[in-house]
Structure 1
């Protein structure tokens, strides 16, 4: 079998035999013959579909459309299981608001990674408030790219862990498309359709993704606990003739996503979880998040005959949300029992309050406080990258120069409603004034520049690069009874950051089958707005690995080491911080993270066109603090304590059988136990999220060129397991769920 294009293609080739595979020479030929528009678009992607994995310095994975087609996952958490070095904390069972970290960087709302769609920052306010309460719909993506290591410095501002890029639907070369219709457990109904094509000088595509279900958790009143997502995309591209001396293209991309989910932060006590992990308390029966996201992106591409390329993108993202969810308790009886987490941790001391949450007893008047966590965001900017390929003797250069100007803000205007538990249900009691639970704006503007040169000579490739970030962050608060903000503004001290982020990657091609790669780079995460005492997060990072590819056998190993001079913690409601601390940041001082990422696979071939693929993906991560301190985010930390919510071992194994018309894949995913707070030694039961081993099964049968039947089962053996103890109590993983459907291709 030919060498695999890159790690993402490896997943498919080794799991289902469904992806394209290329020899290195074939990949080079394809790149040369590729339409100029696609070549230019490669510049703003993390990896790019035309890139041979051997030619990428450091750690890189691209999950292609064929990869994503196997299980048709709508949950980004399950998608990213296929990528080594990714840390995940599940929350709602569907991956609607994921918590993603890379190489131990921290998972809280994916705030410590550079998150993009089509090479453009996509978090609601990536500088001012990077917590990703919006995440692109994984089910409509054509590819998912993950870049870690030395070459990730070009994808700032957050370079400690790396970058995740979601790649939206590309415009097909010929008119065509598909329609997926599927149904499943808990009333799941999904429609996914695409149509588009390319003419002489114009091309376009439209996409619809509509999915909803009733949820796998149950409320005493039988109310819906599921979600409804409507996601629309349109692209229009104008371009010059193929034989034009100067190739140019202009593409406009429009997306609109409306989401509605009846999700809560309120989990369960250990005893209630043991009795029924999928139950929800009465206090959460009104919890709901309503979201709207709109994106406009305009991209101009230029390519000259001498190979010079330029891609310039202007973008604007708007996001609005109102998460109406349980916040805390009022008029309590037990000492300290006003906080939900304290109640669940102390069910005896707070027996009365726990009975209110459950709905077992009538509560004090207005005892259940529910907050309108209403926020609006705008993120906009313009970025440009210029590529200048040239040679100097026998040395080949690919020089990239880039600049970006970016602005974003988050606007909070929040208030509370109080409810009384009466007869096992919530009754409205009162509400506070608009702005009383948060009335502030945080904003940022930033310039970013990078220069990177890919220098190739003989068997060596060296990639020096440097990034410069100049960031200004501001926060202003107003009185809780001043929703019009006509009174005095309480502006906090402006935070300014100017920093250089250098990196160096090296690759040596030992022979046609074995490649060595490594690098060293500075990790950087900026502090948040309104935190004058918070220092930027900085680390010195090293990596070294090898890639082996020979006749269908594939292996990749990468060791990494991150030495933090300062690690930051940010208080959010998602991690259970109190009102007074939301948005505050804390310096954690020195820390160390090291680990190992492994991928291996082989596909055995038999007569009759049958294949039996095997794929293994393993990550080992070891992290510890190297400073004694105490704060509201990390807690009481002693030097040598391990990180919270960071699994030491993660393993994904897949195998199956397939031929030209049929494929079946069984996937096993193991995640070791994690601790909830920093600590060392054995993990106490109340501070522990147990490890789990989960199996997923997928099968599909192609009836004809136009019709394919498919079915999947997630959590095949219906294992009951917890995924977190935050924000409030134990939260369950998704039970066994099935999906079946039909795909029409035209």
Structure 2
């Protein structure tokens, strides 16, 4: 009896399961017959297909989201869609995005076509910092290696100097000197880092060094505290910039004024009289933004008889002149007064006291005044013209008793200077006195266009750059002398004219970027002490054509 009862109950369960499966299959069949399909195409204004366009599909009521890409014929497909209202968003690099609402009935089959227009560079001018990599799309398309350090990376790591920041970039070596990052030694991919001579340093796209053509040595470097981000470009992709791009390009980005008024004060202190005080305040009033920041940094460093003090003040003004024009004005003052030597220690000196500095009378004095004006003009939606006007003055005096380990001291051999035993009494010193004046203008055009029927992006421009150097050396007769006998008096002048053209062919995920740069430089040098004070002048010039091409694939 029990067996018959269990057998009957099992049969009932099997029948119930069969009915349930049957109803499910029937429902699926009915649903299959009621589902719709969207098979569309994406083309440009000429009817040419656009492969690798991104198609996104939303169903607003359920929030369901699907995404596909167009194939080489420009076609995309969504299947198994139930009836309802859908929104389709189509986007492709170099084109303006397009969205469309579609109502799909049960079992419907739709074949929409999306004709995309070239993406405008700007409908109205929007003032941005002078970045090289302004969008993620540009980042993917630049040949070579590009890395960006942002403000979050600075704050998360408590960056102390620019050297610490740049060490986070693959392939970049930044050698310390005095511990404050005042004169960085930056090398990229194994190049000699001394004075960063093989790297082009920019601030908001404008040359930062005081004489990039005539003396590209970094005896001045602004504190990292006032930068918002850092762009580092290695390898190819440098046709648009010059000179001294053998290792790469480093572009420091300053922040723009905030929309609402706000300010901040940061004070950091430590032993050995360390102080880092930073004040910022800015805002936007009536369409004009202002940002002011002031930095005071000082400390005794890691060696005896050393002390560094610097002041850095900046003002940035950004204003819109209608919907098509914008103006950015920047001014900067940097002043340094440091008790710092040019020389390290010999082995015996290091073993005796690794933190000693026997050259306690060496001193560096530096002042830099810089200004720039940037005008941005939207010619039309696909064309933007940016013009930079810039200039700077840099004065630096470095009085020292040693310039390398063989000069102990550098006036050894003079009467009364027998060696290190007379260093602080009767040995004199040398004063390397420099004045640099730099100014220039650079218009630059960026446009989306078509070349040979292939969509792309063109950038071209011209720069006229001028430098003047006044270089003197005086031999002082005492360790603390700040004047002396004039033994070198040179004037150097440079005129540099450069033109550049680069075009990006956008072929789906592939980008081919040919470019050309032309540099014409005129050098002039006058030795004022030659010919018994009558002077002598020499001139030369050079012209170089620098071609380049890069190919990138963005997966």
Q: Say whether the fold is shared (TM-score over 0.5).
A: yes
1:237 deviation in Å? Answer: 1.9
Aligned equivalent of 1:444, options 491, 494, 502: 494
Per-residue CA shift, 1:77-97, capped at 9, x if unaligned?
111101112233322122211
Q: Does 1:110 align with 2:201?
A: no
- Partners in 1 of 2:93 and 2:288 — Cα distance? 27
Partner of 2:439: 380
Asked if 1 retains the 8 angstrom alpha-carbon contact of 2:279 and 2:293, the reply is yes
Cα distance change of structure 1 residues 371 and 364 upon mapping to structure 2, 3 Å threshold: closer
Could you say what secondary structure the match of 1:445 adopts?
Answer: strand
Could you say what secondary structure the match of 2:445 adopts?
Answer: strand
Q: Does 1:298 align with 2:366?
A: no
> Unaligned 5+ residue runs, structure 2?
1-90, 98-118
Per-residue CA shift, 1:273-299, capped at 9, x if unaligned?
133211111xx1111111100111011
Cα distance change of structure 1 residues 27 and 174 upon mapping to structure 2, 3 Å threshold: farther
Asked if 1 retains the 8 angstrom alpha-carbon contact of 2:441 and 2:465, the reply is yes
1:325 deviation in Å? Answer: 1.1
Cα distance change of structure 1 residues 355 and 51 upon mapping to structure 2, 3 Å threshold: farther
- Partners in 2 of 1:73 and 1:229 — Cα distance? 18
Partner of 2:384: 309
Q: How many residues are matched?
A: 439
Q: Does 1:500 align with 2:545?
A: yes
- Partners in 2 of 1:26 and 1:139 — Cα distance? 38
Cα distance change of structure 1 residues 36 and 68 upon mapping to structure 2, 3 Å threshold: farther
Partner of 1:209: 295
- Partners in 2 of 1:469 and 1:479 — Cα distance? 32
Partner of 2:334: 257
Aligned equivalent of 1:479, options 522, 529, 533: 529
Aligned equivalent of 2:406, options 332, 335, 341: 341
Cα distance change of structure 1 residues 151 and 340 upon mapping to structure 2, 3 Å threshold: closer
1:106 deviation in Å? Answer: 2.2
Aligned equivalent of 1:370, options 429, 439, 454: 429
Aligned equivalent of 2:348, options 252, 271, 276: 271
1:481 deviation in Å? Answer: 11
1:380 deviation in Å? Answer: 0.3
- Partners in 2 of 1:77 and 1:35 — Cα distance? 39
Q: Does 1:432 align with 2:484?
A: yes
Q: Does 1:466 align with 2:516?
A: yes
Asked if 1 retains the 8 angstrom alpha-carbon contact of 2:402 and 2:408, the reply is no
Pairing of 1:113-192 with structure 2 (within 5 A)? 113-192=199-278
Asked if 2 retains the 8 angstrom alpha-carbon contact of 1:253 and 1:298, the reply is yes
1:391 deviation in Å? Answer: 3.5
> Unaligned 5+ residue runs, structure 1?
1-24, 220-224, 329-338, 345-349, 420-425, 512-746
Cα distance change of structure 1 residues 196 and 363 upon mapping to structure 2, 3 Å threshold: closer
RMSD: 3.2
Could you say what secondary structure the match of 1:66 adopts?
Answer: helix
Partner of 2:4: none
Could you say what secondary structure the match of 2:165 adopts?
Answer: helix
Partner of 2:357: 280
1:76 deviation in Å? Answer: 1.6
Aligned equivalent of 1:238, options 319, 323, 337: 319
Cα distance change of structure 1 residues 51 and 91 upon mapping to structure 2, 3 Å threshold: farther
Asked if 2 retains the 8 angstrom alpha-carbon contact of 1:394 and 1:457, the reply is no
Q: Which has the higher contact order (CA 8 A, sep 6+)?
A: 1
Asked if 2 retains the 8 angstrom alpha-carbon contact of 1:136 and 1:166, the reply is no
Asked if 2 retains the 8 angstrom alpha-carbon contact of 1:74 and 1:137, the reply is no
- Partners in 2 of 1:441 and 1:91 — Cα distance? 29
Could you say what secondary structure the match of 2:237 adopts?
Answer: helix
Cα distance change of structure 1 residues 85 and 92 upon mapping to structure 2, 3 Å threshold: same
Partner of 1:587: none
Cα distance change of structure 1 residues 441 and 354 upon mapping to structure 2, 3 Å threshold: closer
Deviates more, 1:399-408 or 1:164-173: 164-173
1:121 deviation in Å? Answer: 1.0
- Partners in 2 of 1:160 and 1:459 — Cα distance? 28
Q: Does 1:81 align with 2:167?
A: yes
Asked if 2 retains the 8 angstrom alpha-carbon contact of 1:343 and 1:354, the reply is no
Asked if 2 retains the 8 angstrom alpha-carbon contact of 1:62 and 1:146, the reply is yes
Cα distance change of structure 1 residues 111 and 362 upon mapping to structure 2, 3 Å threshold: closer
Aligned equivalent of 2:536, options 465, 469, 490: 490
1:70 deviation in Å? Answer: 2.3
1:449 deviation in Å? Answer: 0.6
Deviates more, 1:254-263 or 1:391-400: 391-400
1:271 deviation in Å? Answer: 2.5
1:508 deviation in Å? Answer: 1.6
1:480 deviation in Å? Answer: 8.1
Asked if 1 retains the 8 angstrom alpha-carbon contact of 2:121 and 2:384, the reply is no
Per-residue CA shift, 1:80-130, capped at 9, x if unaligned?
101112233322122211111222332221122211111111211111121
Asked if 2 retains the 8 angstrom alpha-carbon contact of 1:27 and 1:52, the reply is no
Per-residue CA shift, 1:1-28, capped at 9, x if unaligned?
xxxxxxxxxxxxxxxxxxxxxxxx8999
Aligned equivalent of 2:472, options 413, 437, 440: 413
TM-score, normalization by structure 2: 0.73
Asked if 2 retains the 8 angstrom alpha-carbon contact of 1:152 and 1:159, the reply is yes
Cα distance change of structure 1 residues 184 and 327 upon mapping to structure 2, 3 Å threshold: same
- Partners in 2 of 1:70 and 1:27 — Cα distance? 33
Cα distance change of structure 1 residues 27 and 275 upon mapping to structure 2, 3 Å threshold: farther
Q: Does 1:67 align with 2:153?
A: yes
Q: Does 1:229 align with 2:288?
A: no
Partner of 1:96: 182
Asked if 1 retains the 8 angstrom alpha-carbon contact of 2:214 and 2:494, the reply is yes
Asked if 1 retains the 8 angstrom alpha-carbon contact of 2:389 and 2:441, the reply is yes
Larger radius of gyration: 2
Asked if 2 retains the 8 angstrom alpha-carbon contact of 1:109 and 1:131, the reply is yes
Could you say what secondary structure the match of 1:87 adopts?
Answer: strand
Could you say what secondary structure the match of 1:77 adopts?
Answer: helix
- Partners in 2 of 1:36 and 1:188 — Cα distance? 47
- Partners in 2 of 1:263 and 1:506 — Cα distance? 47
Asked if 2 retains the 8 angstrom alpha-carbon contact of 1:183 and 1:189, the reply is yes
1:416 deviation in Å? Answer: 1.5
Asked if 2 retains the 8 angstrom alpha-carbon contact of 1:76 and 1:138, the reply is yes
1:362 deviation in Å? Answer: 4.8
Asked if 1 retains the 8 angstrom alpha-carbon contact of 2:325 and 2:377, the reply is yes
